[in-house]
Amino acid sequence: QASQISVLHCFSFRGGAEFLFDGVKKHQVTLPSQPEPWDIRNLLQWIKQNLLKERPELFLQGESVRPGILVLINDSDWELMGELDYQLQDQDNVLFISTLHGG
């Protein structure tokens, strides 16, 4: 049985990505409880619906982040953590860094 405890997470946006989120760099978020564990795939859709303020195409591509956005989970590259399939743990810190700089 999946636990129904809501967990607190910290999401940070840097390198210009924060401008898609009203300039807010750090969000403390309690995700709603759901039957399945939260993974990054679900999280990105939740961020799109709840935090993203403008131009989602600059943050998301398909169900993932755009190329050029670095994702760190607890200071580790998400490529080492399973990317979209990584299941969020309580108190995880997820950092999105845009390496794209417009002219």
In the chain, where the domains are located:
7-98
At 103 the pLDDT is 46
- Three-class DSSP labels, 50-66: HCCCCCHHHCEECCEEC
CATH number for 7-98 (one of 3.40.50.1110, 2.40.128.20, 3.10.20.30, 3.30.1480.10): it is 3.10.20.30
Average pLDDT over residues 31-50: 92
**Continuous H helices in the chain:** 40-50
Model-level pTM greater than 0.85? yes
- Specify the higher pLDDT residue, 5 or 53: 53
Least-confidence region, from 24-33, 39-48, 66-75, 81-90: 24-33
